[in-house]
Amino acid sequence: MKSTVVPNRNTIMLSIAFGMAVSIEANSVAAAVHGGDHFIYPDCRPAFIESFAAMQKQALDGLVEIDLFTPFLQSSKADIVTQGEQLNVPFADTWSCYKGRDRHCGRCGTCVERREAFHLANVTDPTVYEDADFWQSVT
């Protein structure tokens, strides 16, 4: 997974999101960072999120107030799958794979984590993988 680290990725994307939020007069920006990413991605950690939100409050002081909403900050991917199941999320319509093919590869770190999350949540994974069983050999 270390090869998937893009330094400052969330800094860049959140900065753009806040700029867009100002332009459309939104009152919040949401980001789906989650607890499972804390170890490998520094810009998914609570300290980063808190610091970024504080920076935006300073940057927008006197102009507008926009909150940073990160509902999964302390959640695992399995927790997210469980909540998604309760909300009838159409998981077959969601995408995780880094390979950019017609189907999920089943082998990249994100596919492995996705497959494991469904397993741990005891939820049927509707995702079509090129290699659906690979995750078991690496977890």
What share of the chain has pLDDT > 90, as a percent? 78
- Both tokens of 3, joined, read 């090869």
Q: What is the pLDDT of residue 95?
A: 94
What is the C-alpha separation between 42 and 10, in angstroms, rounded?
Answer: 9
Pair (122, 81) in one structural domain? yes
* Sign of the torsion angle spanned by Cα atoms 109, 115, 116, 121: positive
Per-residue pLDDT at 109 exceeds 90: no
Choose the weakest-confidence range: 35-49, 54-68, 123-137: 35-49
- Both tokens of 69, joined, read 């909403």
Computed over every residue of the chain, the mean pLDDT equals 92
Look-up: residue for tokens 């920006």?
A: 29
What is the C-alpha separation between 31 and 112, in angstroms, rounded?
Answer: 22
The tens digit of pLDDT for each residue in 2-33 reads 666 778 889 999 999 999 999 999 999 999 99
Q: How far is CA 41 from the centre of its chain?
A: 11
Query: Which of 19, 34, 69 corresponds to the end of one domain?
Result: 69
pTM of the predicted model as reported, rounded to 2 decimal places: 0.84
Q: DSSP string covering 54-78, please? A: HHHHHHTTTT---EEE-TTTT--HH
Q: How many residues does the chain have?
A: 139
- Domain extent, residue 54, equals 2-69
Pair (42, 59) in one structural domain? yes
Look-up: residue for tokens 């090869």?
A: 3
Q: Which helix (H) or strand (E) holds 29?
A: strand 28-30
Pair (60, 86) in one structural domain? no
**Count of domains in the chain?**
2
Residues pairing with 129 in the sheet = 104
